[in-house]
Amino acid sequence: MTVGLWGFAAMIALLALGIPVAYAIGTVAIVGIFYAVGPVFLLSTIQSLPYAFASDYNFVVVPLFVLMGALASRAGIISDLYQAAFQLTSRIRGSLMMATVMAQAMFAAISGSTTVAANIFTRMALPEMTRYGYNKGVAAGCVAAAGTLAGLIPPSIAMVLYAILTGEPVGKLLIAGILPGVLTAVGYIVGIRVMLIFRPEWAPMITQRFSLKEKLKGLTNTWTVLLLIGIVLGGIYAGAFPPSAAGAVGAAGVLVIALSTRRLPKGALWESLIESARVSAVLFLIVMAGLLFSRFLLISGFIADLKTFATTIELTAAMFIALVVLLFLILGCFVDSVSLMVITLPFLYPISKAVGVDGIWLGVLVIKLIEIAAITPPVGLNLFAVMSAAKGQLQSRELFRGVIPFLVMEAVILGLMIAFPSIATFLPTLMD
Protein backbone atom coordinates (compact mmCIF):
# COMPACT_ATOMS: atom_id res chain seq x y z
CA MET A 1 0.00 0.00 0.00
CA THR A 2 2.80 2.42 0.91
CA VAL A 3 4.70 1.78 -2.34
CA GLY A 4 1.55 2.37 -4.37
CA LEU A 5 0.76 5.63 -2.57
CA TRP A 6 4.32 6.87 -3.15
CA GLY A 7 3.84 6.01 -6.82
CA PHE A 8 0.68 8.13 -7.04
CA ALA A 9 2.41 11.01 -5.24
CA ALA A 10 5.37 10.88 -7.64
CA MET A 11 3.06 10.79 -10.65
CA ILE A 12 1.08 13.82 -9.44
CA ALA A 13 4.34 15.68 -8.80
CA LEU A 14 5.57 14.99 -12.34
CA LEU A 15 2.26 16.08 -13.83
CA ALA A 16 2.38 19.27 -11.74
CA LEU A 17 5.83 19.98 -13.21
CA GLY A 18 4.33 19.88 -16.70
CA ILE A 19 5.70 16.49 -17.76
CA PRO A 20 3.49 14.99 -20.51
CA VAL A 21 0.99 12.48 -19.15
CA ALA A 22 2.37 9.39 -20.89
CA TYR A 23 5.94 10.12 -19.77
CA ALA A 24 4.93 10.91 -16.19
CA ILE A 25 2.87 7.74 -15.77
CA GLY A 26 5.38 5.56 -17.64
CA THR A 27 8.35 6.83 -15.64
CA VAL A 28 6.66 6.12 -12.31
CA ALA A 29 5.60 2.68 -13.52
CA ILE A 30 9.12 1.74 -14.67
CA VAL A 31 10.79 2.95 -11.48
CA GLY A 32 8.09 1.29 -9.37
CA ILE A 33 8.42 -2.08 -11.10
CA PHE A 34 12.22 -1.91 -10.77
CA TYR A 35 11.90 -1.17 -7.04
CA ALA A 36 9.28 -3.89 -6.47
CA VAL A 37 10.71 -6.86 -8.39
CA GLY A 38 14.03 -5.90 -9.94
CA PRO A 39 15.49 -5.33 -13.43
CA VAL A 40 14.83 -8.78 -14.97
CA PHE A 41 11.05 -8.61 -14.61
CA LEU A 42 11.09 -4.94 -15.59
CA LEU A 43 12.93 -5.63 -18.83
CA SER A 44 10.60 -8.51 -19.66
CA THR A 45 7.53 -6.34 -19.00
CA ILE A 46 8.79 -3.43 -21.10
CA GLN A 47 9.55 -5.80 -23.97
CA SER A 48 6.26 -7.71 -23.92
CA LEU A 49 3.40 -5.58 -22.60
CA PRO A 50 3.48 -2.56 -24.97
CA TYR A 51 4.02 -4.81 -27.99
CA ALA A 52 1.20 -7.16 -26.97
CA PHE A 53 -1.15 -4.18 -26.71
CA ALA A 54 -0.09 -2.36 -29.88
CA SER A 55 -0.18 -5.54 -31.98
CA ASP A 56 -3.66 -6.60 -30.82
CA TYR A 57 -5.88 -6.52 -33.92
CA ASN A 58 -8.97 -5.65 -31.84
CA PHE A 59 -7.59 -2.20 -31.05
CA VAL A 60 -7.35 -1.16 -34.71
CA VAL A 61 -10.83 0.18 -34.01
CA VAL A 62 -9.29 3.31 -32.41
CA PRO A 63 -7.60 4.78 -35.52
CA LEU A 64 -10.54 3.68 -37.68
CA PHE A 65 -13.07 5.47 -35.47
CA VAL A 66 -10.86 8.56 -35.46
CA LEU A 67 -10.60 8.38 -39.26
CA MET A 68 -14.38 8.02 -39.52
CA GLY A 69 -14.97 11.23 -37.60
CA ALA A 70 -12.18 13.13 -39.36
CA LEU A 71 -13.62 12.32 -42.79
CA ALA A 72 -17.16 13.22 -41.70
CA SER A 73 -16.04 16.58 -40.35
CA ARG A 74 -14.30 17.48 -43.62
CA ALA A 75 -17.03 16.24 -45.97
CA GLY A 76 -19.82 18.66 -45.03
CA ILE A 77 -22.02 15.84 -43.76
CA ILE A 78 -22.65 17.73 -40.51
CA SER A 79 -24.36 20.68 -42.21
CA ASP A 80 -27.01 18.33 -43.64
CA LEU A 81 -27.67 16.86 -40.20
CA TYR A 82 -27.96 20.32 -38.64
CA GLN A 83 -30.25 21.70 -41.34
CA ALA A 84 -32.57 18.68 -41.16
CA ALA A 85 -32.77 18.93 -37.36
CA PHE A 86 -33.50 22.68 -37.53
CA GLN A 87 -36.29 22.16 -40.05
CA LEU A 88 -37.92 19.54 -37.82
CA THR A 89 -37.83 21.79 -34.74
CA SER A 90 -38.68 25.11 -36.42
CA ARG A 91 -41.19 27.41 -34.74
CA ILE A 92 -40.38 25.94 -31.31
CA ARG A 93 -38.68 28.24 -28.84
CA GLY A 94 -35.06 27.13 -28.59
CA SER A 95 -35.25 25.29 -31.92
CA LEU A 96 -31.63 26.03 -32.79
CA MET A 97 -30.39 24.61 -29.49
CA MET A 98 -32.59 21.55 -29.93
CA ALA A 99 -31.34 21.16 -33.50
CA THR A 100 -27.76 21.37 -32.20
CA VAL A 101 -28.43 18.56 -29.72
CA MET A 102 -30.13 16.37 -32.34
CA ALA A 103 -27.43 16.96 -34.95
CA GLN A 104 -24.65 16.33 -32.43
CA ALA A 105 -26.35 13.07 -31.37
CA MET A 106 -26.39 11.89 -34.99
CA PHE A 107 -22.83 13.09 -35.57
CA ALA A 108 -21.78 11.22 -32.41
CA ALA A 109 -22.71 8.01 -34.20
CA ILE A 110 -20.03 8.65 -36.83
CA SER A 111 -17.43 10.33 -34.62
CA GLY A 112 -16.00 9.17 -31.30
CA SER A 113 -14.42 12.44 -30.17
CA THR A 114 -16.25 14.94 -27.95
CA THR A 115 -13.80 17.78 -28.52
CA VAL A 116 -14.01 17.40 -32.31
CA ALA A 117 -17.81 17.60 -32.12
CA ALA A 118 -17.70 20.68 -29.89
CA ASN A 119 -15.16 22.37 -32.15
CA ILE A 120 -17.07 21.77 -35.38
CA PHE A 121 -20.50 22.75 -34.08
CA THR A 122 -19.13 25.89 -32.46
CA ARG A 123 -18.06 27.12 -35.89
CA MET A 124 -21.37 26.11 -37.50
CA ALA A 125 -24.14 26.50 -34.91
CA LEU A 126 -22.93 29.28 -32.60
CA PRO A 127 -22.94 32.01 -35.32
CA GLU A 128 -26.49 30.99 -36.29
CA MET A 129 -27.77 31.16 -32.71
CA THR A 130 -26.04 34.48 -32.17
CA ARG A 131 -27.57 35.87 -35.38
CA TYR A 132 -31.06 35.03 -34.14
CA GLY A 133 -30.46 36.74 -30.78
CA TYR A 134 -29.80 33.71 -28.58
CA ASN A 135 -27.92 34.26 -25.33
CA LYS A 136 -24.34 33.68 -26.46
CA GLY A 137 -23.15 31.96 -23.26
CA VAL A 138 -26.10 29.56 -23.09
CA ALA A 139 -25.80 28.79 -26.81
CA ALA A 140 -22.10 28.00 -26.40
CA GLY A 141 -22.88 25.94 -23.30
CA CYS A 142 -25.36 23.92 -25.35
CA VAL A 143 -22.72 23.21 -28.01
CA ALA A 144 -20.17 22.14 -25.39
CA ALA A 145 -22.66 19.93 -23.52
CA ALA A 146 -24.08 18.26 -26.63
CA GLY A 147 -20.54 17.47 -27.74
CA THR A 148 -20.26 15.03 -24.84
CA LEU A 149 -22.75 12.72 -26.58
CA ALA A 150 -19.84 11.41 -28.66
CA GLY A 151 -18.43 9.86 -25.49
CA LEU A 152 -21.48 7.65 -24.98
CA ILE A 153 -23.01 6.98 -28.38
CA PRO A 154 -20.90 4.49 -30.37
CA PRO A 155 -18.41 4.65 -31.96
CA SER A 156 -16.94 6.01 -28.72
CA ILE A 157 -13.17 6.17 -28.38
CA ALA A 158 -13.56 6.54 -24.61
CA MET A 159 -15.47 3.25 -24.45
CA VAL A 160 -12.72 1.50 -26.39
CA LEU A 161 -10.07 2.87 -24.02
CA TYR A 162 -12.09 1.66 -21.03
CA ALA A 163 -12.24 -1.79 -22.62
CA ILE A 164 -8.47 -1.77 -23.16
CA LEU A 165 -7.77 -0.78 -19.56
CA THR A 166 -10.19 -3.23 -17.95
CA GLY A 167 -10.50 -6.18 -20.33
CA GLU A 168 -14.27 -5.78 -20.71
CA PRO A 169 -15.67 -6.71 -24.17
CA VAL A 170 -15.51 -3.77 -26.58
CA GLY A 171 -18.68 -4.67 -28.47
CA LYS A 172 -20.87 -4.81 -25.38
CA LEU A 173 -19.45 -1.56 -24.05
CA LEU A 174 -20.17 0.25 -27.31
CA ILE A 175 -23.75 -1.03 -27.40
CA ALA A 176 -24.19 -0.19 -23.70
CA GLY A 177 -23.72 3.49 -24.49
CA ILE A 178 -26.67 3.73 -26.89
CA LEU A 179 -29.56 4.08 -24.42
CA PRO A 180 -27.65 6.38 -22.01
CA GLY A 181 -26.67 8.51 -25.02
CA VAL A 182 -30.27 8.71 -26.23
CA LEU A 183 -31.42 9.47 -22.67
CA THR A 184 -28.88 12.29 -22.46
CA ALA A 185 -29.98 13.80 -25.79
CA VAL A 186 -33.66 13.60 -24.83
CA GLY A 187 -32.81 15.01 -21.39
CA TYR A 188 -31.10 18.00 -23.01
CA ILE A 189 -34.05 18.69 -25.31
CA VAL A 190 -36.58 18.47 -22.47
CA GLY A 191 -34.26 20.49 -20.23
CA ILE A 192 -33.93 23.23 -22.86
CA ARG A 193 -37.71 23.41 -23.17
CA VAL A 194 -38.14 23.71 -19.39
CA MET A 195 -35.27 26.20 -19.07
CA LEU A 196 -36.80 28.52 -21.67
CA ILE A 197 -40.15 28.53 -19.89
CA PHE A 198 -38.42 30.43 -17.08
CA ARG A 199 -35.91 32.37 -19.22
CA PRO A 200 -37.55 32.86 -22.65
CA GLU A 201 -35.28 35.83 -23.41
CA TRP A 202 -32.36 33.41 -23.80
CA ALA A 203 -33.83 32.10 -27.08
CA PRO A 204 -36.16 34.41 -29.07
CA MET A 205 -38.82 32.67 -31.15
CA ILE A 206 -37.84 32.05 -34.78
CA THR A 207 -40.79 32.55 -37.13
CA GLN A 208 -39.28 30.89 -40.17
CA ARG A 209 -41.57 28.17 -41.56
CA PHE A 210 -40.67 25.04 -43.50
CA SER A 211 -43.16 23.10 -45.58
CA LEU A 212 -43.59 19.36 -45.27
CA LYS A 213 -41.85 19.00 -48.63
CA GLU A 214 -38.83 20.96 -47.39
CA LYS A 215 -38.63 18.90 -44.20
CA LEU A 216 -38.79 15.66 -46.17
CA LYS A 217 -36.09 16.93 -48.53
CA GLY A 218 -33.89 17.79 -45.54
CA LEU A 219 -34.33 14.29 -44.12
CA THR A 220 -33.61 12.81 -47.55
CA ASN A 221 -30.20 14.50 -47.51
CA THR A 222 -29.33 12.55 -44.36
CA TRP A 223 -30.51 9.08 -45.37
CA THR A 224 -27.02 7.87 -46.30
CA VAL A 225 -25.66 8.84 -42.88
CA LEU A 226 -28.61 7.23 -41.07
CA LEU A 227 -28.15 4.07 -43.14
CA LEU A 228 -24.44 3.99 -42.30
CA ILE A 229 -25.20 4.42 -38.58
CA GLY A 230 -27.72 1.57 -38.77
CA ILE A 231 -25.23 -0.73 -40.49
CA VAL A 232 -22.38 -0.02 -38.05
CA LEU A 233 -24.43 -0.24 -34.84
CA GLY A 234 -26.62 -3.05 -36.14
CA GLY A 235 -23.57 -5.04 -37.20
CA ILE A 236 -21.98 -4.77 -33.76
CA TYR A 237 -25.23 -5.54 -31.94
CA ALA A 238 -26.12 -8.53 -34.11
CA GLY A 239 -22.56 -9.87 -34.01
CA ALA A 240 -22.33 -9.71 -37.80
CA PHE A 241 -18.83 -8.27 -37.46
CA PRO A 242 -16.51 -7.33 -34.58
CA PRO A 243 -15.97 -3.69 -33.51
CA SER A 244 -12.67 -3.57 -35.41
CA ALA A 245 -14.48 -4.42 -38.65
CA ALA A 246 -17.27 -1.99 -37.73
CA GLY A 247 -14.68 0.78 -37.63
CA ALA A 248 -13.51 -0.18 -41.11
CA VAL A 249 -17.09 -0.30 -42.41
CA GLY A 250 -17.82 3.10 -40.88
CA ALA A 251 -14.69 4.79 -42.23
CA ALA A 252 -15.20 3.30 -45.70
CA GLY A 253 -18.88 4.27 -45.62
CA VAL A 254 -18.15 7.91 -44.79
CA LEU A 255 -15.54 7.99 -47.56
CA VAL A 256 -18.03 6.60 -50.10
CA ILE A 257 -20.68 9.14 -49.04
CA ALA A 258 -18.19 12.00 -49.28
CA LEU A 259 -16.95 10.93 -52.73
CA SER A 260 -20.44 10.25 -54.11
CA THR A 261 -21.68 13.69 -53.04
CA ARG A 262 -18.44 15.31 -54.28
CA ARG A 263 -17.92 17.03 -50.95
CA LEU A 264 -14.45 15.81 -50.10
CA PRO A 265 -12.04 18.75 -50.53
CA LYS A 266 -8.70 18.21 -52.17
CA GLY A 267 -6.23 16.71 -49.74
CA ALA A 268 -8.94 15.98 -47.13
CA LEU A 269 -8.36 12.22 -47.22
CA TRP A 270 -4.62 12.60 -46.60
CA GLU A 271 -5.26 15.13 -43.81
CA SER A 272 -7.76 12.73 -42.20
CA LEU A 273 -5.27 9.86 -42.36
CA ILE A 274 -2.56 12.00 -40.76
CA GLU A 275 -4.96 13.15 -38.03
CA SER A 276 -6.02 9.58 -37.34
CA ALA A 277 -2.40 8.43 -37.04
CA ARG A 278 -1.41 11.35 -34.81
CA VAL A 279 -4.37 11.05 -32.41
CA SER A 280 -4.07 7.26 -32.23
CA ALA A 281 -0.33 7.44 -31.52
CA VAL A 282 -0.88 9.81 -28.59
CA LEU A 283 -3.74 7.71 -27.18
CA PHE A 284 -1.79 4.47 -27.54
CA LEU A 285 1.26 5.94 -25.81
CA ILE A 286 -0.86 7.09 -22.86
CA VAL A 287 -2.64 3.74 -22.60
CA MET A 288 0.65 1.79 -22.78
CA ALA A 289 1.94 3.88 -19.88
CA GLY A 290 -1.33 3.23 -18.05
CA LEU A 291 -1.03 -0.53 -18.54
CA LEU A 292 2.54 -0.43 -17.18
CA PHE A 293 1.28 1.57 -14.19
CA SER A 294 -1.48 -0.98 -13.65
CA ARG A 295 1.12 -3.78 -13.69
CA PHE A 296 3.17 -1.84 -11.11
CA LEU A 297 0.17 -1.50 -8.78
CA LEU A 298 -0.55 -5.21 -9.14
CA ILE A 299 2.93 -6.61 -8.49
CA SER A 300 3.66 -4.14 -5.68
CA GLY A 301 0.70 -5.53 -3.75
CA PHE A 302 -1.21 -2.25 -3.80
CA ILE A 303 -4.32 -3.77 -5.46
CA ALA A 304 -4.39 -6.72 -3.06
CA ASP A 305 -4.05 -4.44 -0.03
CA LEU A 306 -6.75 -2.14 -1.39
CA LYS A 307 -9.15 -5.07 -1.82
CA THR A 308 -8.41 -6.20 1.73
CA PHE A 309 -9.01 -2.68 3.01
CA ALA A 310 -12.34 -2.50 1.16
CA THR A 311 -13.39 -5.80 2.73
CA THR A 312 -12.27 -4.67 6.19
CA ILE A 313 -14.36 -1.51 6.14
CA GLU A 314 -17.26 -3.48 4.58
CA LEU A 315 -17.44 -1.27 1.50
CA THR A 316 -20.78 -1.79 -0.27
CA ALA A 317 -21.57 -1.31 -3.95
CA ALA A 318 -23.57 1.84 -3.17
CA MET A 319 -20.70 3.32 -1.13
CA PHE A 320 -18.25 2.48 -3.92
CA ILE A 321 -20.41 4.18 -6.58
CA ALA A 322 -20.73 7.27 -4.39
CA LEU A 323 -16.94 7.42 -4.01
CA VAL A 324 -16.44 6.98 -7.77
CA VAL A 325 -18.86 9.82 -8.54
CA LEU A 326 -17.18 12.10 -6.00
CA LEU A 327 -13.67 11.21 -7.20
CA PHE A 328 -14.37 11.78 -10.89
CA LEU A 329 -16.33 14.99 -10.39
CA ILE A 330 -13.50 16.49 -8.33
CA LEU A 331 -10.52 15.24 -10.35
CA GLY A 332 -12.35 15.88 -13.62
CA CYS A 333 -12.17 19.62 -12.97
CA PHE A 334 -8.38 19.47 -13.23
CA VAL A 335 -7.40 16.36 -15.26
CA ASP A 336 -8.33 15.48 -18.85
CA SER A 337 -10.59 12.49 -19.47
CA VAL A 338 -8.04 10.04 -20.93
CA SER A 339 -5.50 10.71 -18.17
CA LEU A 340 -8.22 10.41 -15.54
CA MET A 341 -9.21 6.96 -16.80
CA VAL A 342 -5.61 5.78 -17.05
CA ILE A 343 -4.80 6.97 -13.53
CA THR A 344 -7.92 5.72 -11.71
CA LEU A 345 -9.12 2.53 -13.42
CA PRO A 346 -6.11 0.38 -12.44
CA PHE A 347 -7.27 0.47 -8.80
CA LEU A 348 -11.00 1.25 -9.16
CA TYR A 349 -11.86 -1.63 -11.49
CA PRO A 350 -10.50 -4.42 -9.22
CA ILE A 351 -12.40 -2.94 -6.26
CA SER A 352 -15.59 -2.81 -8.36
CA LYS A 353 -15.31 -6.53 -9.02
CA ALA A 354 -14.73 -7.18 -5.32
CA VAL A 355 -17.90 -5.32 -4.28
CA GLY A 356 -20.02 -6.80 -7.09
CA VAL A 357 -20.43 -3.85 -9.47
CA ASP A 358 -21.08 -4.82 -13.10
CA GLY A 359 -18.07 -3.88 -15.24
CA ILE A 360 -20.16 -2.79 -18.24
CA TRP A 361 -22.35 -0.52 -16.12
CA LEU A 362 -19.29 0.92 -14.38
CA GLY A 363 -17.83 1.71 -17.80
CA VAL A 364 -20.90 3.67 -18.86
CA LEU A 365 -20.95 5.48 -15.51
CA VAL A 366 -17.25 6.38 -15.77
CA ILE A 367 -17.70 7.70 -19.32
CA LYS A 368 -20.70 9.77 -18.24
CA LEU A 369 -18.68 11.23 -15.35
CA ILE A 370 -15.69 12.16 -17.49
CA GLU A 371 -18.01 13.77 -20.02
CA ILE A 372 -19.59 15.83 -17.25
CA ALA A 373 -16.06 16.78 -16.24
CA ALA A 374 -15.43 17.90 -19.84
CA ILE A 375 -17.99 20.70 -19.42
CA THR A 376 -17.16 21.58 -15.81
CA PRO A 377 -15.25 24.85 -15.31
CA PRO A 378 -12.46 25.74 -15.09
CA VAL A 379 -10.59 23.01 -17.02
CA GLY A 380 -13.31 21.22 -19.01
CA LEU A 381 -11.83 20.15 -22.35
CA ASN A 382 -15.04 20.81 -24.28
CA LEU A 383 -15.15 24.33 -22.87
CA PHE A 384 -11.62 24.92 -24.17
CA ALA A 385 -12.63 23.48 -27.56
CA VAL A 386 -15.59 25.87 -27.79
CA MET A 387 -13.51 28.86 -26.69
CA SER A 388 -10.84 28.03 -29.26
CA ALA A 389 -13.32 27.57 -32.12
CA ALA A 390 -15.19 30.79 -31.19
CA LYS A 391 -12.02 32.76 -32.09
CA GLY A 392 -12.47 35.59 -29.59
CA GLN A 393 -16.23 36.02 -30.10
CA LEU A 394 -16.97 34.54 -26.67
CA GLN A 395 -15.67 35.36 -23.19
CA SER A 396 -14.89 32.58 -20.75
CA ARG A 397 -17.18 33.96 -18.04
CA GLU A 398 -20.11 33.91 -20.52
CA LEU A 399 -19.44 30.27 -21.31
CA PHE A 400 -18.95 29.28 -17.66
CA ARG A 401 -22.31 30.84 -16.76
CA GLY A 402 -24.03 29.47 -19.85
CA VAL A 403 -23.05 25.86 -19.22
CA ILE A 404 -24.50 25.79 -15.68
CA PRO A 405 -28.09 24.87 -16.79
CA PHE A 406 -26.67 21.91 -18.72
CA LEU A 407 -24.71 20.74 -15.68
CA VAL A 408 -28.03 20.72 -13.80
CA MET A 409 -29.56 18.62 -16.59
CA GLU A 410 -26.57 16.27 -16.40
CA ALA A 411 -27.08 15.85 -12.64
CA VAL A 412 -30.66 14.68 -13.25
CA ILE A 413 -29.59 12.30 -16.04
CA LEU A 414 -26.75 10.90 -13.90
CA GLY A 415 -29.23 10.28 -11.08
CA LEU A 416 -31.48 8.31 -13.44
CA MET A 417 -28.56 6.22 -14.68
CA ILE A 418 -27.52 5.35 -11.13
CA ALA A 419 -31.09 4.63 -10.01
CA PHE A 420 -31.80 2.43 -13.06
CA PRO A 421 -28.62 0.53 -14.10
CA SER A 422 -30.63 -1.40 -16.71
CA ILE A 423 -30.50 1.72 -18.91
CA ALA A 424 -26.89 0.74 -19.61
CA THR A 425 -27.05 -3.05 -19.20
CA PHE A 426 -30.29 -3.91 -21.06
CA LEU A 427 -28.95 -3.99 -24.64
CA PRO A 428 -25.66 -5.77 -23.80
CA THR A 429 -27.56 -8.58 -22.01
CA LEU A 430 -29.49 -9.25 -25.23
CA MET A 431 -26.19 -9.88 -27.04
CA ASP A 432 -25.41 -13.00 -24.96
Per residue in 48-81, pLDDT tens? Answer: 888 888 887 777 888 888 888 788 777 777 777 8
Angle formed by the axes of helices 268-299 and 302-312, nearest 10°:
70
DSSP for 60-120? GHHHHHHHHHHHHHHTTHHHHHHHHHHHHHTTSTTHHHHHHHHHHHHHHTT---HHHHHHH
Distance, in Å, from the CA atom of 18 to the CA atom of 47, rounded to the nearest integer, reads 27
Q: Give the number of other Cβ atoms within 10 Å of residue 390's Cβ.
A: 21
Q: Buried b vs exposed e over 16-48: b needs ≥16 C-beta within 10 Å? A: eeeeebbebbbbbbbebbeebeeeeebeebbee
Q: Comparing C-alpha atoms, which of 59, 21, 78 is closest to residue 263?
A: 78
> Rounded to whole angstroms, how far apart are CA atoms 187 and 206?
22
The pLDDT value recorded for residue 411 is 94
Q: Please answer whether residues 383 and 400 qualify as being in contact, where contact means their C-beta atoms are separated by less than 8 angstroms.
A: yes
The per-residue pLDDT for 98 is 93
Nearest CA to 318 among 281, 356, 369? 356
Backbone angles phi, psi at 157, to 5 degrees: -65, -35
> Where exactly are the structural domains of the chain?
2-429
Calpha distance 160→176 (Å, rounded): 12
CB 258 within 8 A of CB 244: no
Quick one: pLDDT at residue 136? 92
Res 142: pLDDT: 93
Q: Along the chain (432 residues), what's the average pLDDT of each consecutive run of 10 residues? A: 84 83 88 89 87 80 82 76 82 89 87 76 86 91 90 85 88 91 95 94 83 77 80 81 81 84 82 86 85 86 81 86 88 75 86 90 93 82 83 84 94 94 92 72
pLDDT at 179: 94
Q: In 10 A of CB 12, how many CB atoms?
A: 14
Encoded amino acid at 315, one letter: L
Q: What pLDDT is attached to residue 362?
A: 94
Please give the DSSP secondary-structure letter assigned to residue 376.
Answer: S
Question: What global pTM score does this model have?
Answer: 0.85
SS3 state of residue 107: helix
| Alpha-carbon span 95 to 204, nearest angstrom | 10
- Residues 94-134 have pLDDT tens digits of 889 999 999 888 888 877 677 777 888 888 888 888 888 99
Which pLDDT belongs to residue 73?
Answer: 74
Instruction: Report CA dihedral (175, 180, 185, 187) to the nearest 10 degrees.
Output: 160
